[in-house]
Amino acid sequence: MKEPLIDQTAKILLNSFDSYIREFNELTDRTPAFFKTKDWNAMQQNHRKRLRLYKDQVKATLEILKEILVENSKNFDFWNSLKAYYSKLIAEKKDKELAETFFNSIIRKSYFGLAINEDLMFVHEGYNSCVIYPNKNLFYTYPSDWGLRKIIVRIMEDFDFEVPYLNKEEDIEFLIKSINEVILTRYIPTADSTTQVLKSVFYRNKGAYVIGRIKIGGKWMPFIIPFLNGPKGVFADTMIFDPNLMSGMFSFTRSYFMVKVGIPSQLISFLNAVIPSKKIHELYNAIGFNKHGKTEFYRDFLNHLSQSNDKFVLAEGVKGMVMTVFTLPSFNVVFKMIKDYFDPPKTMTRQEVREKYKMVGLHDRVGRMADTHEFEEFHLPLERIDPLLIEELKNTVNSLLEITEDELILKHVYIERRMIPLNIYLESCSTEDAKYAVEEYGNSILEMAKANIFAGDMMTKNFGVTRQKRVIFYDYDEIEFLTDMNFREKPKPETFEQIYASSPWYDIAQNDVFPQDFKHFMIGRPDVKNHFFDFHNELFNPEHWKMIQEKINSGAGIHAFSYPQKIRFRPREEI
């Protein structure tokens, strides 16, 4: 392969990647100003722009390389030489793993039908091969001999957000009280006790999250302090030590944080120590590098395949009219494929379904919608596919399949976290758990609504229950923006003919919604049905939905709390 061509192509790739990172950082760096001025609309627009950035940069790079790739798109020697040369160019980069993923994206979009190939792609490198850099500039350090009050005062000074505090002295007392109650009742500080707090602030919605850890009693105790900017100033909203709550804040149902990242692998390493229950790919997702998160997820998947022997089978639950869903029982995800034909009454096209998934990908998921990785040309070992699954796939998604001697190739598939379908969960759980689940179900619908998402098909089979018993929506083919819907009171019949009409006697437009009808399909379990109707009575009131629409249209924005309201220092403080 001609070296000048390889040199030229590799440098174009590297320059394009550097442009992506530069713009990614520029968009991220705007966030503190939006928080300071409470410009929540600009915050959301900026976030969406950053979400689109990677795909736009890949597309632009392919356009630049168009002439080179016409002759070499499927040339093994070209890509093999290019990978080797590119590897040398990025060897000293502090975001090397992200540069590897960018290369993989380019080859996947150029070399159609390419299986995962270690000679041509970065398959096993990634996070685990990154250099470990010194942490001295990553966090502030507060020694224990300062005493608790001085440490808290200094933290408040180091994170002033350039906005007056609502009541800084009261915040200090709240934080001291929290540490006394949770940590100092169990551990006594010693000479080697210390507190470390990441210098980078994690922004999302209307919140700014400060993340740190305290070394005491021979171990690290992580914490998160959410700050909010309300009408009267900035305030510390609570202090979180619960590892389950911390994990939930980095959940697959949450929007990505806007956070300044110097060395990605270094920040991920710190977060992994603070929240060990989160996998590496989940943490990359959480800080906005979702394409690399997808790469790390795939590495986990390959490792799991090599260490397991169970078969892929149909997922439990009612078969969908739009999607065929299957899973590998030993791996906590589901694979979703859009059917070739949809059962009535579904009338949308496959492309329309894909657009709905893109819509969710660019939207604030507010902790109630599952994040999804989209794959093309996804290869599975044929021997691991259950015969009943093969038969179902051939019957429903045959156009998206290619079967070779030893592989099943999925031309297009979505992969997301596996949950227990809510309808199945409600069949066997206790009455107490069922009451909580239906409360969560209603909360999920209303919280999505406040984020301008109307779920459309709100049957319980389209919601899942997580390990923390949180109810999450995962079926997106009928979602719409809430502000596009017309919520109406159902007309009352006045004549005999109207009362006994076999079909509605009044006009119904495409986006008309009658909330009173929700009761007919929402919850069928007798022992919790009335509890649900009472607890979420507002769901059936058109005026409540209109009120949410008005708030969205006013531009006030919403804040999706990722922790219980009951642990807030000032539960009634508005933002």
Q: Write b or e for each residue in 259-296: b if 16 or more Cβ atoms lie within 10 A of its Cβ, otherwise e.
A: bbbebbbbbbbbbbebbeebebbbbbbbbbbbbbbbbb
Specify whether the CB–CB gap between 193 and 127 falls below 8 A.
no
Both ends of the chain: CA-CA distance in Å? 61
Q: Which residues make Cβ contacts (< 8 Å) with residue 12, sequence separation at least 6?
A: 61, 64, 65
- The confidence score (pLDDT) of residue 556 equals 73
pLDDT of 83 > 90? The answer is yes
- Percentage of residues in the chain with pLDDT exceeding 70? 100
- Percentage of residues in the chain with pLDDT exceeding 90? 78
Instruction: Indicate the average pLDDT of the chain.
Output: 93
User: Per residue in 277-287, pLDDT tens?
Assistant: 999 999 999 99
- The confidence score (pLDDT) of residue 323 equals 95
Least confident window among 115-129, 195-209, 323-337, 443-457: 115-129
- The confidence score (pLDDT) of residue 2 equals 61
- The confidence score (pLDDT) of residue 1 equals 58
Specify whether the CB–CB gap between 431 and 469 falls below 8 A.
no
pLDDT of 220 > 90? The answer is yes
> How far is CA 493 from each of CA 496, 505, 509, rounded to the nearest angstrom?
8, 9, 18
pLDDT of 574 > 90? The answer is no
432 exposure class (CB count in 10 Å sphere: 0-12, 13-18, 19+): exposed
Q: Report which of 185, 237, 246 is spatially closest to residue 212, judged by C-alpha positions.
A: 246
- The confidence score (pLDDT) of residue 13 equals 97
Alpha helices in 38-146 (DSSP H): 40-64, 66-72, 76-90, 96-110
User: Per residue in 335-383, pLDDT tens?
Assistant: 999 999 998 888 889 999 999 999 998 888 888 999 999 999 899 999 9
- The DSSP string of 263-310 is SHHHHHHHHHHH-TTS-HHHHHHHTT-HHHHHHHHHHHHHHHHHT---
pLDDT of 496 > 90? The answer is no
- The confidence score (pLDDT) of residue 366 equals 86
| CA–CA distance, 329 with 234 (Å, rounded to integer) | 46
Three-state secondary structure along 434-501?
HHHHHHHHHHHHHHHHHCCEECCCCCHHHEEECCCCCEEECCCCCCEEHHHCEECCCCCCCCHHHHCC
- Residue 433 falls in the annotated catalytic set: no
pLDDT of 436 > 90? The answer is yes
pLDDT of 490 > 90? The answer is no
Token digits for 541? 């009131």
Least confident window among 10-24, 345-359, 500-514: 500-514
Average pLDDT over residues 472-497: 91
Q: Report which of 181, 223, 178 is spatially closest to residue 198, judged by C-alpha positions.
A: 223
pLDDT of 557 > 80? The answer is no
pLDDT of 331 > 80? The answer is yes
Looking at this protein, which amino acid is placed at residue 184? L
- The confidence score (pLDDT) of residue 399 equals 97
| CA–CA distance, 160 with 552 (Å, rounded to integer) | 29
User: Per residue in 85-116, pLDDT tens?
Assistant: 999 999 999 999 999 999 999 999 998 877 77
pLDDT of 575 > 90? The answer is no
Rg, the chain, Cα only: 26
- The strand pairing partners of 325, in sequence order, are 336
Least confident window among 110-119, 201-210, 471-480: 110-119
- Of 157 and 507, more confident: 157
Residue 342 DSSP code: P
Which CB contacts under 8 angstroms, 24+ apart, belong to 32-37? Answer: 32/161, 32/162, 32/201, 32/203, 32/208, 35/161, 35/203, 35/206, 35/208, 35/229, 36/161, 36/162, 36/163, 36/229
Looking at this protein, which amino acid is placed at residue 294? K
Collapse the DSSP code of 417 into the 3-class scheme (helix H, G, I; strand E, B; otherwise coil) and give the result: strand
- The confidence score (pLDDT) of residue 139 equals 95
504 exposure class (CB count in 10 Å sphere: 0-12, 13-18, 19+): exposed
Out of 95, 171, 237, 371, which one is annotated catalytic?
Answer: 371
Q: Report which of 23, 21, 25 is spatially closest to residue 13, judged by C-alpha positions.
A: 21
- The confidence score (pLDDT) of residue 364 equals 83
Average pLDDT over residues 319-327: 94
Specify whether the CB–CB gap between 264 and 132 falls below 8 A.
no
Specify whether the CB–CB gap between 199 and 139 falls below 8 A.
yes
